[in-house]
Structure formats: structure tokens, C-alpha cells
Amino acid sequence: MKTRLFVFSLFIAIAVFMTEQASAFELYSKDFKNGGYIPPLFSCLGKDISPELYWKNPPKDTKSFVIIVEDLNAPGGVFYHWSVYDIPSSVHELKEGTKEYLQGLNDFGNIGYGGPCPPPGKPHRYYFNLYALNISSLGLPKGATIKAIQEKIRSHILGSAFLFGLFKR
């Protein structure tokens, strides 16, 4: 009986450890909390610049990162606000208003960040999705479409983390 209890306890401990390890990849910002409101500075009502982003504990063997920002409440379906790709694995932050690394075409029709700018009414949810990849480059030029980026990363994702913020006008 003691042996079974020990084995069961060991199994639970390993499961908890693996769950903690799997959920350790984290994306956060000092500009807003997960689930909180995004300050107007980072929207069309402000300077329309990207917030600072930080991440920690990426999966082992990560060679690069991709960030995709989307509005899930847009009237016409998902609206893409930003994509940054070919971020080296040694990088664990993006500064406010960054122009570094390759940036894709957003749904405003511009390359780079386009901040929250929903129609007046209820708050919209903006997801900042961070993907850790097992390749160092997507092989795409500056200004790639979200569709091209998503197709390239599909079979190379080692892990992901997200941060979401709210914004309303």
C-alpha cells in the first residue's frame, strides 16, 4: 500500500511539475495588465505606438519569436493590428514604439503597428499573441501579410503566450 501511495504521489508531483513547466512561457507589459484597459497612448486616440512587451521562460530550442496582435470583436471579423517576425531568440522584450525586426502588413493597410481604434460602444478585446518557433527566420520580406506569416509558423510553433487588453471609445 505504501508503495502504491508513493508511486501515486510521485506521479502527481511529476504531473504538477510538467504543467508548471508547460505554462511558464509568459508575455506581459508594464503598460497594462492582462485583462486590463490599454492606455489611449497606444491607440488611434493617442500616439498610436506599440506598448512595451516582455516575455520570459520560452520553450527550450526556441530560435525565434513572432508577435501577432488581433481584435476579436471587430465588426467584420478578426482584425489584425500588428505582426513582428524573425525576432531572435536572444530578445525577450520589445520597447515602446519599436520599429525593430521585420513587421508585417496590418489590416489598416500599413506596415507596422496600428493601435486599437474600435467604433464607439462596447470594449473590444485585443490579443497580443507571442509564438516561439523552432526556426530562426520565416524567409518572408518586410510587409508580409498575416496569412503568409500564419502559414509559415503553423508547423514551427514550440509554444505560445498571450496578453490581452481592452479598449473602447
**Taking the chain (169 residues) in consecutive chunks of 10 residues, what is each chunk's mean pLDDT?**
43 45 84 98 98 98 99 96 99 97 98 97 98 99 98 98 97
Task: State whether residue 12 is helix, strand or coil.
Answer: helix
Candidates 52, 50, 54, 51; CA nearest to 27 is: 54
Predicted pLDDT of residue 7: 38
Distance CA(160)–CA(65), nearest Å, equals 9
Predicted pLDDT of residue 113: 99
Domain boundary assignment for the chain: 27-167
Fold type of domain 27-167: Phosphatidylethanolamine-binding Protein (3.90.280)
- The whole-model pTM stands at 0.86
- Element housing 3 (H / E): helix 2-22
DSSP conformational letter for 30: S
Predicted pLDDT of residue 24: 87
DSSP conformational letter for 60: T
Report the Cα 101 to chain-centroid distance in Å: 15
Predicted pLDDT of residue 25: 98
DSSP string, 63-119: -EEEEEEEETT-TTS-EEEEEEEEEETT--EE-TT---SEE-B-TTS-BS-----PP
CA angle, 110 then 95 then 34, to 5°: 90
- Element housing 163 (H / E): strand 157-167
Spatial CB neighbours of 76, under 8 Å, sequence gap ≥ 6: none
